[in-house]
Structure 1
Amino acid sequence: MISWLMLAQAIALGAIGAVVAIAGIMRRPFGDWVLGAAALTFLTLVVQVVASIIAPIAGAGPTGDLLEYWTYLITAVVIPPAAVLWALIDKKGEWSTLVVGIGILACAVMVYRMHQIWFVQVA
């Protein structure tokens, strides 16, 4: 895991998630911009997967539990598509935008926790 990448990703996802969640609380309808925010979240997580595969090969492995790290990462990758699926099923509902916003915020928290597992914990 690249430290600056995690920091940029956590800040960006936190800001994007907050904007989408606030729009959901204000009952803004689900639209292309929410779908784009979820797609951007998914794209950053795919970049994190690639970086997490390359880092141990390059000699920068984790100090924490690798299984716990990958469990967090795979779960985070699944959250945006699941939130969008929920929102598309309930597109005319009041809370579809909020569901996607909370999913993006959850990904931001999970990315920060993955950073803790990778760098802070001592096995």
Structure 2
Amino acid sequence: MLWGYDGWFWASVVLGTLSCLICLVQALRGREPDDFSQGSVLILEFFLLVYMVGSIFLPLYGSEASGSVLEYWGYLLTALLIPAGTFIWSLVERSRWSTLILAAAGPVVIVMVYRMNFIWYYQNV
């Protein structure tokens, strides 16, 4: 762990920040959702799907959650819905405001993964 958080958290910080910046720049330029903005959110969604698979196998390798497992999975399933929902929104409403909504997915994913990391490792410490 680096500074108390695992690599998954830092990967979410990098991917979420890049996705947010890409979408913000596109929104400030007045662009509709395009391959860059939508693709960055799809990469976030793919990251969360890999995170989910890792979360399924994590207890099998001896790592136990220090907090509520139900709360952890609630956060994970909600985090999976955010990028998917913003992506669908950007398909339905093709405007620069949709690109701004796509930008919100990055910070939300960072906060959700931070909270999941806290629940798994530090809840009862």
Same structural fold, with TM-score higher than 0.5 when normalized by the shorter chain: yes
Work out whether 1:44 is the aligned partner of 2:44: no
Structure 2 partner of 1:10? 13
Alignment of 1:60-99 (within 5 A): 60-91=63-94, 93-99=95-101
* 1:46 maps to amino acid: L
- For residues 35-91 of structure 1, the C-alpha deviation after alignment (integer angstroms, 9 at most, x for no partner) is 211110011000110110111111112111111110010001111111011111111
* 1:3 maps to amino acid: D
Work out whether 1:105 is the aligned partner of 2:107: yes
Ranges of 4+ aligned residues in structure 1 off by more than 6 Å: none
**With CA pairs under 8 Å and 6+ residues apart, which has the higher RCO, 1 or 2?**
1
- For residues 11-34 of structure 1, the C-alpha deviation after alignment (integer angstroms, 9 at most, x for no partner) is 321232233134324422210111
* 1:34 maps to amino acid: S
User: Which deviates further from its counterpart, 13-22 or 76-85?
Assistant: 13-22
Q: Is the 8 A contact 1:10 1:112 kept in 2?
A: no
Q: Is the 8 A contact 1:63 1:118 kept in 2?
A: yes
Work out whether 1:121 is the aligned partner of 2:123: yes
Cα distance in 2 between the residues matched to 1:4 and 1:55: 14
Cα distance in 2 between the residues matched to 1:30 and 1:59: 43
Cα distance in 1 between the residues matched to 2:97 and 2:87: 12
Q: Is the 8 A contact 1:21 1:99 kept in 2?
A: no
Number of residue pairs matched by the alignment: 121
Unmatched 5+ stretches in structure 2: none
TM-score computed with the length of structure 2 as normaliser: 0.87
Indicate the SS of the match to 2:96.
coil
Unmatched 5+ stretches in structure 1: none
CA RMSD of aligned residues (A): 1.7
Work out whether 1:32 is the aligned partner of 2:35: yes
